[in-house]
Amino acid sequence: MSKTNHLPKVGFVSLGCPKATVDSEHILTRLRAEGYLISGSFQDADLVVVNTCGFINSAVEESLDAIGEALAKNGKVIVTGCLGAKGDVVKQAHPKVLAVTGPHATDEVMAAVHQHLPKPHDPYMDLVPAQGIRLTPKHYAYVKISEGCNHRCTFCIIPSLRGDLVSRPVGDVMQEAQNLVNAGVKELLVISQDTSAYGVDVKYRTGFWGGKPLKSRMTELAAAMGELGAWVRLHYVYPYPHVDEVIPLMAQGKILPYLDIPFQHANQRILKLMKRPASSENVLARIKQWREICPDLTLRSTFIVGFPGETEEEFEELLDFLEQAQLDRVGAFAYSPVDGAAANALPDHVPPEVQQERLARLMLLQEEISEQRLKRKIGKTMKVLVDEVDEDGAIARSFSDAPEIDGVVYIENGQQLKAGDFVEVKITDSDEHDLWAEIV
Contacting residues toward ligand SF4, per CB under 6 A: 149, 151-153, 156, 158-159, 193-194, 238
User: Would you say 151 or 291 has its CB closer to ligand SF4?
Assistant: 151
* Dihedral over Cα of 132, 236, 88, 66: its sign: negative
- Closest approach, Cβ 238 to ligand SF4, in A, equals 5
Contact predicate 61/26, CB 8 Å: no
Pairing of strands 393-397, 409-411: antiparallel
**Cα torsion for 328, 333, 338, 342, to the nearest 10°?**
70
Helix (H) or strand (E) holding 11: strand 9-14
- Closest approach, Cβ 265 to ligand SF4, in A, equals 12
Contact predicate 67/73, CB 8 Å: no
- Closest approach, Cβ 295 to ligand SF4, in A, equals 29
User: Would you say 163 or 248 has its CB closer to ligand SF4?
Assistant: 163
* Dihedral over Cα of 281, 282, 287, 288: its sign: positive
User: Would you say 80 or 193 has its CB closer to ligand SF4?
Assistant: 193
User: Would you say 21 or 193 has its CB closer to ligand SF4?
Assistant: 193
User: Would you say 36 or 142 has its CB closer to ligand SF4?
Assistant: 142
User: Would you say 129 or 337 has its CB closer to ligand SF4?
Assistant: 337
- Closest approach, Cβ 148 to ligand SF4, in A, equals 8
Give the type of residue at 310. Answer: E
3-class DSSP assignment, residue 325: helix
- Closest approach, Cβ 278 to ligand SF4, in A, equals 13
Strands, E, within 176-311: which ranges?
Answer: 187-191, 206-209, 212-215, 231-234, 258-260, 298-305
- Closest approach, Cβ 19 to ligand SF4, in A, equals 10
User: Would you say 146 or 366 has its CB closer to ligand SF4?
Assistant: 146
* Interior/surface letters 185-214, b for 16+ CB within 10 angstroms, e for the rest: bbbbbbbbbbbbbbbbbbebeebebeeeeb
Q: Which of 237, 334, 335, 235 is nearest to 283 (CA)?
A: 237
- Closest approach, Cβ 118 to ligand SF4, in A, equals 38
Contact predicate 151/238, CB 8 Å: yes
